[in-house]
Amino acid sequence: MKSQYQNRIELLQGTLDLLILQTLLWGPQHGYGISQVIRTQSGEVLQVDTGSLYPALHRLEKQKWIKSEWKLTEKNQEAKFYQLTAAGRKQLAEERSRWEQLSDAIGAVLKNPVIG
Amino acid sequence: MDSRKNEDLEAEIQSHLQMAAQDKVAAGQSPRDARDATLREFGNVGMVKEVTREMWPGTSLESFLQDIRYGLRTLIKTPGFAVVAILTLALGIGANTAVFSVVNGVLLNPLPFRDADRLVVLFHDKANFPEGSISYPNFLDWQRDNQSFEAMAAYRQNGFSITGAGEPENVHGQRISSTFFPVLGVNPVLGRNFSADEDRLGANPTVMISEGLWKRKFGSDPAIIGRRLIVEGVGRTIVGVIPAGFRLRISNFRTGDVYLPIGEDTEPQFRERSSAWGMDAIGLLKRGVTLEQARQDMARVNRGLAAAYPDVDAGIKSRIVPLKEHMVGELRPVLLVLLGAVAFVLLISCVNVANLLLARSNSRQREFAIRVALGAAQQRIVRQLLTESILLALVGGVLGLILAKWGTAAALAAVPRSLPRAENIGLDFHVLLYTFGISLVAGIVFGLVPALKTSHSHIGSTLKESGRNLAGTRGRAQGAFVVAEMALALVLLTGAGLMIRTLFHLWEVDPGFNPHDILTFNVSPSSSLASKSPDAIRAAYREMHAAIRSVPGVEAASFNWGAHPMEGDAEESFWVQGQPKPARRADLPYALQYVVQPEYLELMQTPLKSGRFLRPDDNDHSQFVVVIDEDFAAQYFPGKNPIGQHLVNEQTGGRERVEEIVGVAGHVKQFGLDQDAINTLHAQIYESFFQQEDDLMRRVAKGTDVFVRTRAGIDPTSVFPAIQHALNRVDAGMVVFGPENMDQTVADSIAQKRFSMTLLAVFAALALLLASIGIYGVLSYLVGQRTQEIGVRMALGAQRSDVLRLIMNDGARMALLGIGIGVVVALGLTHLMTSMLFGVRPTDPLTFAAVTLVLGWIALLACYVPAHRAMRVDPTVALRYE
């Protein structure tokens, strides 16, 4: 039971990283903005928990895949904006291809007719 | 740095909340609703910050400090728990620190001498006395002929009267070889050591004094060197002052106030090769020479002596013991047993606190589950919990240090005399390190199990279960704790029980005399007495005796110039007239010798077995008589009547003195209540004080012991000032000193065993208390857990007595299992105590039965309270119990 639970967390974290990096591909964004983008783009399916989002952002920053800067928003408010670094772009490309491989592989399994 | 990052995170979250709320207002919500909804959606702000911070690259020190801050906050939030846990640990750690500080001071610390590991004590190993005294001629030959010692030095202790500097007084002193202080590496604070020239017959009389005497008598006069001090009536030039820091207490040596060269002692008997005048020696081994090499070397020297002086030195052996071993060797097993015992107490404390932590971690289950769900690593939570428990242990350790300081002082006050090196005991760096170490280990030991259990428990179900925990597994862990506690407590109780039985046995031992209401002290008449005629000396002593007897409260009095029961021995060689005299003096048998007056037997209340005791008319004009003890009779006259037989002993100059045996007295436990049976010398003789030879009377003139029986019901020492006064009226220059209560002397002879018993009993009581608290706590907790179940049972018709039995059964099972394991462990461990016991075997069934019963009853009592509470559970309340 315990190990299953841990796997779920890891899967979510890994996926969240991919989603965050993907979101930032379109330009710098703050935490709230990132969660809004993921929610709307996923058709309201993916709700990003703040307790996962902020640790993920800080971890990605520690790994130097993103960097942060305080800037003014369109509504003239101070917010901490994150943006992709060069390393982050490379990481995004890797994670995308891994995700696509995984997705293809799972898709292939699911599409195969059941034998016997 | 840390605080800026925290502010930054705070601002980031605030901006998030603000933007989210603005969006909701834009969507048509009221600002108030928008703010509430935003906060709800965001979740626990503190928790989000916490888990985010864990991602920071911060150093391990930072996160460690963070853990400590968090830990302190949690402890402060539950002060009751913290206080109980810290006090429990402080007791355990304090007791350990106290015992360790004794072990450290006595066993571990090196002796305070240069080259301490090369210092040895030398004895003459002979029949009855493996550590017998050496004769001066033999010592000189050892010193000259050996090849393994850098130097040897002899010493012999004495009381010395000093006059010519203020009030006359008697001080403790030593006669020493000129090499004595150089061997130890002790340098005078002022002046110099004796020269070899001053350490021989006919030398100019010199003396070294202690720094204490220098201060007391001479006001620390810097020009003291070269001044004169009158010792035993002889003017001596002061050549050196020994530092106050010099302390040594070994067989026949005690730090004194005056030191005289041993080689200038003019006493003719002292220079006889056959004499045994309480002289021992120390030696400094040459660098690189092992103990074994030195022993072989001395065996070679002794073969030469045996060949040269077959009459007295046939079979002569040396005994060489490392100085430290000689000082503390006997104590080592005792201290190690105590150290082991006190470690058990700490273990029980740890188990108790682990129990408390388990019970508490229960209520924090949700807190940790949430943190894990939010991404905190389990490892991190274990670390957090461990930090908390180590924090507890360290606070407990600091408090324990204070307890230890106080406890050690109390323990040492209980044994002022029997513990060697007691002055070394204190809280030094090693002790502090030890305390820190055991606190740390204790923190990990009692923290680890609860921490692992808490962090590994089933998070999903914990969250679902809305705070109800897993009584099953938790109960098992706590049950195991109780079993362990019971087992540990049983082992300690057994140890204490064996010591208590030992002491009871010792108290029941008949010392062979009645020590109540006996005062002993010493007299040292004016030095002019020694130069008078033997008859004048006898007359002076008769006058002194009359003076002592005239003091109100004195019922009987006797001088004793010989062995002092349980304090010091004196022997005389003899042979039985009519039996062949051994060819060599070395083969003569010895008997313990008491030189006393007729009142001695009545005074000591030693029983007379047959014949008569000494009488006042046994004086210097009548036939020499002697009274022997029953062991002497059994050994030398088995199955015969010794009365009327004669003993012969050889006097100085070879003259034979014949004494008629007139009576047989009971045996006196000369060597102490426990040691007398072990010692091989048992035969005892009583000779008449006033029948001593003339040359002995001159030595008696320098001083002797006095025994006084006082009226029952008064403190024997209370009559001492009156006696002092009465004696000084006879001889104003007489020094009367060293009053001691015989009861105290007997008690001191078993002080070490009493000390062990007291400490073990205290530890066992502590263990019993902690273990009962432990079993009580666990059962209360389990009853709390099972309230619902109990409610169901009662609703289904269970009687209250059934419930009581149910809970009692639980407790009894744990207690019995613990007791069973404890008995097995105790059987394996108590043999380590063999050397501490007397009259009881380490597997004494009575002790085992008794401690099992005591522990069993106390455990049942501890179970009864929560069981009784369970019995009174109201089913309707219990069923709603959450």
For B624-647, write each residue's pLDDT tens digit. Answer: 999 999 999 999 999 999 999 999
Question: Taking CB atoms and an 8 Å cutoff, what residues of chain B touch A1?
Answer: 458, 460
Chosen from B7, B8, B16, B18 to mutate, greatest number of chain A CBs within 10 A: B16
Comparing CB atoms, the residue among B8, B48, B54 nearest residue A50 is B48
For residues B392-421, average pLDDT: 81
Domain spans, chain B = 2-43, 116-328, 331-508+751-880, 518-749
Alpha helix (H) residue ranges in B309-377: 310-313, 323-328, 331-363, 365-373
Print the SS3 string covering B654-722: HCEEEEEEEEEECCCCCCCCCCCCCCCCCCEEEEEHHHCCHHHHHHHCCCEEEEEEECCCCCHHHHHHH
Q: Which residues from B are below 8 Å from A51, CB to CB? A: 43-44, 47-48, 51, 374-375
Binary contact (A55, B456; C-beta < 8 A): no
Residues B819, B851 contacting (CB under 8 angstroms) = no
Nearest to B829 by CA among B344, B265, B228, B243: B344
- Rounded to an integer, the average pLDDT of B291-316 is 93
pLDDT value of position B469: 40
Query: What is the average per-residue pLDDT within B162-179?
Result: 86
**Range of the structural domain that residue A38 is part of:** 2-111
Nearest CA in chain B to A70: B12
What pLDDT score does B841 carry?
Answer: 92
Q: Are B248 and B424 in contact (CB under 8 A)?
A: no
Band (pLDDT 50/70/90 cuts) for residue B358 is: confident
Mean pLDDT of chain A: 81
Per the domain annotation, does A56 fall within a domain? yes
B378-414 and B79-103 helices, crossing angle to 10°: 50
Q: Is B374 on the interface with A (CB under 8 A)?
A: yes
Question: Within an 8 Å CB–CB cutoff, is residue B56 touching chain A?
Answer: yes
Please state the separation of Cα B414 from the chain's center in Å: 10
Helix (H) / strand (E) containing B489:
helix B471-508
| In the block, residue with structure tokens 């002794």 | B302
Closest CA to B439 of B108, B92, B82: B92
Closest CA to B686 of B824, B513, B526, B810: B513
Residue entry with tokens 């008697």: B170
Q: A–B: how many Cβ contacts below 8 A?
A: 71
Q: What is the rounded distance in angstroms from the CA atom of residue B160 to the CA atom of residue B169?
A: 8
Share of chain B above pLDDT 70, in %: 94
| pLDDT on residue B468 | 40
What pLDDT score was predicted for residue B247?
86
Residue B238 phi/psi, 5° resolution? -80, 120
CB contact A77 to B (< 8 Å) = yes
Most confident by average pLDDT, B56-65, B181-190, B357-366: B181-190
Query: pLDDT tens, B710-768?
Result: 999 899 999 999 999 999 999 988 888 889 999 988 888 888 788 888 888 888 898 88
B342 touches chain A (CB under 8 A): no
Smallest Cβ–Cβ distance between B20 and the set A13, A32, A58 belongs to A32
Q: How far is CA B104 from CA B398, B430, B763, in A?
A: 19, 8, 19
Q: Do B153 and B176 contact (CB within 8 A), yes or no?
A: yes
Q: Could you identify the residue written with the tokens 């058709």?
A: A43
- Residue B755 in 3-state DSSP? helix
Tokens 């049983």 found at: B490
Q: Answer whether A29's CB lies under 8 Å from A43's CB.
A: no
In this model, does residue B368 exceed pLDDT 80? no
**Among B15, B19, B374, beta carbon nearest to A51:** B374
Our count of domains for chain A comes to: 1
CA dihedral over B416, B419, B422, B425, signed as positive or negative = negative
Verify whether the Cβ–Cβ distance B375 to A55 is below 8 Å: yes
Are the CB atoms for B791 and B875 separated by under 8 Å? yes
Residue where the block lists tokens 């108790």? B352
A33 neighbourhood in chain B, CB within 8 Å? 19
Would you say residue A5 has pLDDT above 60? Answer: no
Write down the pLDDT at residue B151. Answer: 96
* Chain A contact for B15 (CB, 8 A cutoff): yes
Q: Which residue has the higher pLDDT, B286 or B114?
A: B286
Q: Which residues of B touch A11 (CB under 8 A)?
A: none
Distance between start and end Cα atoms, chain B: 46
pLDDT of residue A10: 40
Cα B529–B535–B539 angle (5° rounding)? 70
Q: Are B463 and B366 in contact (CB under 8 A)?
A: yes
Q: Which two tokens stand for residue B213?
A: 């005497």
The amino acid that residue B861 corresponds to is L
Interfacial A residues in 28-67 facing B (CB < 8 Å): 30-33, 36, 49-52, 54-55, 58-59, 62
pLDDT at A116: 45
Token duo for residue B608: 């007379």
Q: Do A30 and B44 touch (CB under 8 A)?
A: no
Contacts of A82 in chain B (CB under 8 A): none
Q: Mean pLDDT in chain B? A: 87
Residue B828 CB neighbour total at 10 angstroms: 10
Partner A contacted by B456 (CB < 8 A): yes
Structure-model confidence comparison of residues B472 and A26, the more confident one:
A26
pLDDT score at B634: 95
Q: Does B813 touch chain A (CB under 8 A)?
A: no
Other beta carbons within 10 Å of B567: 15
Calculate ∠ Cα A18-A24-A30, nearest 5°. Answer: 110
Overall average pLDDT of the B426-440 stretch: 88
Identify the pLDDT of residue B647. 94
3-state secondary structure at position B197: helix
DSSP codes, B804-854: HHHHHHHHHHHHHHHHHHHHHHHHHHGGGGGGG-SSS-TT-HHHHHHHHHH
In terms of Cα–Cα distance, which of B315, B212, B317, B287 is closest to B256? B212
Q: Do A79 and B19 touch (CB under 8 A)?
A: yes
Residues of chain B neighbouring A73 (CB-CB closer than 8 A): 19
- Residue A31 to chain B, least CA–CA distance (Å): 7
Give me the phi and psi of B765, to 5 degrees please: -65, -40
Minimal-distance CA residue of chain B relative to A74? B19
Q: Estimate to the nearest angstrom the gap between the alpha carbon of B158 and the chain centroid.
A: 27
CB B228 within 8 A of CB B238: yes
How does residue B227 score in pLDDT terms, banded at 50, 70 and 90? very high
Name residue, tokens 């640990």: B89
pLDDT of residue B514: 94
Give burial (CB, 10 Å; 0-12/13-18/19+) of B392: buried
Mean of the pLDDT values across residues B667-684?
Answer: 88
Cβ-defined contact of B375 to A32 (cutoff 8 Å): no
C-alpha angle B319/B322/B323, rounded to 5°? 110
Distance from CA of B791 to the nearest CA of A (A): 32
pLDDT score, position B162: 87
Q: Is the pLDDT of residue A27 over 60?
A: yes
**pLDDT at residue B245 above 70?**
yes
**Cβ–Cβ below 8 Å for A77 and B374:** no
Instruction: Give yes or no for residue B560 having a pLDDT over 90.
Output: yes
- Please tell me if residue A75 touches chain B, with a CB cutoff of 8 Å: yes
B 28-47 residues with CB below 8 A of A? 42-44, 47
Q: Which residues of A touch B42 (CB under 8 A)?
A: 50
pLDDT (tens digit per residue) in A55-105: 889 888 888 899 999 988 888 888 999 999 999 999 899 888 888 888 888
B855 and B768 Cβ atoms separated by less than 8 Å: yes
Span B103-117, pLDDT tens digits: 888 888 888 898 999
Nearest C-alpha in B relative to A57: B52
Mutate to test the interface with A, among B7, B8, B14, B15 (most CBs of A within 10 A): B15
Contact residues on chain A for B54, CB-CB shorter than 8 A: 55
Q: Is the pLDDT of residue B313 over 50?
A: yes
Q: What is the pLDDT of residue B466?
A: 40
**DSSP label at residue B606:** P
Contact with chain B for residue A5, Cβ under 8 A: yes
What's the rounded Cα separation, in Å, for the pair B117 and B322? 8
Query: Which of B464, B708, B716, B492 is CA-nearest to residue B600?
Result: B708
Name the band, by pLDDT with cuts 50, 70 and 90, for residue B666: very high
Of A36, A55, A78, the CB nearest to B55: A55
CB of B120 within 8 A of CB of B323?
yes
Is pLDDT of B225 > 60? yes
Taking an 8 Å cut-off on Cβ atoms, the answer to whether B56 and A31 are in contact is no
Write down the pLDDT at residue B839: 87
Phi, psi of B700 (to 5 degrees): -60, -30
Tell whether A48 is covered by a domain: yes
Answer yes or no: are the C-beta atoms of B346 and B393 closer than 8 Å.
no
Treating both helix axes as pointing N-terminal to C-terminal, what angle do B845-871 and B751-785 enclose, rounded to 10 degrees? 30
Determine whether the interchain pair B16/A30 forms a contact, defined as Cβ–Cβ distance below 8 Å: yes
Beta strands in B218-262 (DSSP E): 228-231, 234-242, 249-250, 253-254, 258-261
Residue B663 pairs in a beta bridge with B611, B627
List chain A residues with CB under 8 Å of B373: 9
Instruction: Decide: helix, strand or coil at residue B267.
Output: coil
d(CA B591, CA B662) in angstroms, rounded, equals 16
Residues A84 and A61: their CA atoms lie apart, in Å, by 9
- For residue B455, give how far its alpha carbon lies from the nearest alpha carbon of chain A (Å): 11
Q: A2 to chain B nearest CA, in Å?
A: 7
CA distance B12 to chain A (A): 6
CB atoms within 10 A of CB B246: 17
The 10s digit of each residue's pLDDT in B175-220 is 999 999 999 999 999 999 999 999 999 999 999 999 999 998 899 9
**Amino acid identity, residue B31?**
P
Distance CA B814, CA B859 (A): 9
For B533-546, the pLDDT digits (tens) are 999 999 999 999 99
A10 touches B at CB < 8 Å: no
Q: Is residue A94 assigned to a domain?
A: yes
CB atoms within 10 A of CB B24: 19
- B761 to chain A, any CB pair closer than 8 A? The answer is no
Instruction: Give the separation between CA B779 and CA B486, rounded to whole angstroms.
Output: 14
Contact assessment for residue B878 and residue B793, using Cβ atoms and an 8 Å cutoff: no
CA–CA gap between residue B635 and residue B680 (Å, rounded): 12
Count other C-beta atoms under 10 Å from residue B173's C-beta: 27
**pLDDT grade, residue A4 (50/70/90)?**
very low
Q: Say whether residue B12 is in contact with chain A using an 8 A CB cutoff.
A: yes
pLDDT tens digit sequence for B798-853: 888 888 888 888 888 888 999 999 999 999 999 888 888 888 999 999 999 999 99
Q: Give A-chain residues touching B12 at CB under 8 angstroms.
A: 30-31, 54, 79-80
Helix (H) / strand (E) containing B502 = helix B471-508
ipTM: 0.85
CATH, residue A81: 1.10.10.10
Q: What is the DSSP letter of B564?
A: B
Mean pLDDT to the nearest integer, B662-668: 96
CB contact, 8 Å: B20 with chain A?
yes
Between CA A81 and CA A79 the distance in angstroms is 6
CB–CB of B684/B668 below 8 Å? yes
Strands of A29-30's sheet in order across:
A29-30, A78-84, A66-72
Give residue B456's pLDDT. Answer: 64
CB contact under 8 A, A75 and B55: no
**Residue A31 is nearest to which of B16, B44, B51, comparing CB atoms?**
B16
Dihedral angle, C-alpha B46, B48, B52, B54, nearest 10 °: 60
Compute the distance between CA of residue B238 and CA of residue B209 in angstroms, rounded to an integer: 7
